[in-house]
Structure 1
């Protein structure tokens, strides 16, 4: 399992939200490039970038910061989500050096886009599924649908999706631990690699995910910014883990 630092971008700054609330943002840095460099120095093998403004606007807003990171660290895999609703946006990010584009809201409202993107950009598409009580949330988590996240995930089984980032929005930014049961349910529902997101608060949460098995990666944000989780230590645990 890999541990993936999150860099959430709002108005050009690195922030963390609580349960996706834009009004409840904590600013950790006004230099996204320096933040990326810090996590790379701590041993990050991949970065998870989120354009928070873009998620609400429906188109990229912090694209400049994203492309700056991708170009500064060309050997580091980067995944970006937030405001990706069409093929040209994906193409621009990939051309800038981003490795994976994450389709979130559009995957729910326009599943055909995922199929087209996987055909056009094979190996570079991740689906982001955000859920509350197992139901899919969209529009930067502002709306909760009546669709089960696991059922939607199954629709992408044969598309060639590289991974699913599964976020329990009730846990995100709350430092309350990962929803292991829901994440495992998703992992067992599909053959697509699952990246857990939301609630990672300490090394114990990483250990629980390792014990659960079948989870490809874990995204962590607030915990590493508030020094509740040591990124290097967490990745070392993953590397040495034997079931």
Structure 2
């Protein structure tokens, strides 16, 4: 399992939100490339990038910064989500050096788009499922649908998706622990590797996730490592043990 640092981009800066609220952000760095390097130096084996502006606007906003991060770390697997709504956007990001592209809102609204993307970019497509009380949320979490997260995940079981990032909105940025029950239930429902996101706070959360390595590819962490509540190297070592 991997512990994956999150770099959330808003207005060119590295921030963290609370429960996805754009107005409730904390700026941690004006230099996202330097922040990426910091996590790599601490042993990160993959990075999770989010174009927050892109998620709300529906178009990529941080291509320049994202490309700079990829160029700075050409051998590091990087996944990105936020504002991915077209095949051309996916192609541009992959050409820029990214390895995995996460389709979120578009996956919920047009599941067939994911299947098309998987055919076009085999092995590079991930699906981001964000949920509030088990129901799928879209458009930067601004819209909560009547679709169950587990049902949406099942839709992609045989689509060629490499993995799913599952985020519990209520937990995200709140330092309140991971919703392991729902995360594992979703992984079992679809049979795909799942990356847990939202609420990873300390080593106790890592210990709680480890028994489910059969279903989980890893866990994304943001605020906890930025505020020093979780040591990235220690967390990865615990997963490796």
TM-score normalised per structure 1: 0.98
The 5 A counterparts of 1:4-83 are 4-83=4-83
Distance in 1 (CA, whole Å) between partners of 2:16 and 2:93 is 23
Deviation sequence 1:179-214 (CA, Å, 0-9, x none):
011011111111110000000010100110113442
For the residues of structure 2 that align with 1:72 and 1:215, how far apart are their CA atoms? 28
Give 5+ residue unaligned stretches, structure 1: none
Which ranges of 4 or more aligned residues in structure 1 deviate by more than 3 Å?
none
1:164 counterpart = 2:191: no
Q: Over residues 128-176 of structure 1, what are the superposed CA-to-partner deviations in whole Å (9 max), with x where a residue is unaligned? A: 0000111000000000000001101111111110100000000000000
Gaps of 5+ in 2: none
State the alpha-carbon separation in 1 of the partners of residues 79 and 57 from structure 2: 19
Q: Which residue is 1:104 aligned to?
A: 104
Taking the TM superposition and a 5 Å limit, the aligned residue runs for 1:139-150 are 139-150=139-150
CA-CA distance at 1:67 after TM superposition:
0.9
| Contact map agreement 1:180 1:212 (CA 8 A) in 2 | no
> Residue deviations 1:93-135, cap 9 Å, x none?
0000000000000000111110010000000000000001110
Structure 2 SS opposite 1:205: helix
Aligned partner of 1:216 in structure 2 is: 217
Q: CA RMSD in A?
A: 0.6
The answer as to whether partners of 1:106 and 1:113 remain within 8 angstroms in 2 is yes
Q: Which secondary structure does the structure 2 equivalent of 1:216 belong to?
A: strand
Give the secondary structure class of the aligned counterpart of 2:216. Answer: coil
Q: More displaced, 209-218 or 77-86?
A: 209-218
Structure 2 match to 1:114: 114
Find the counterpart in structure 1 of residue 237 from structure 2. Answer: 236
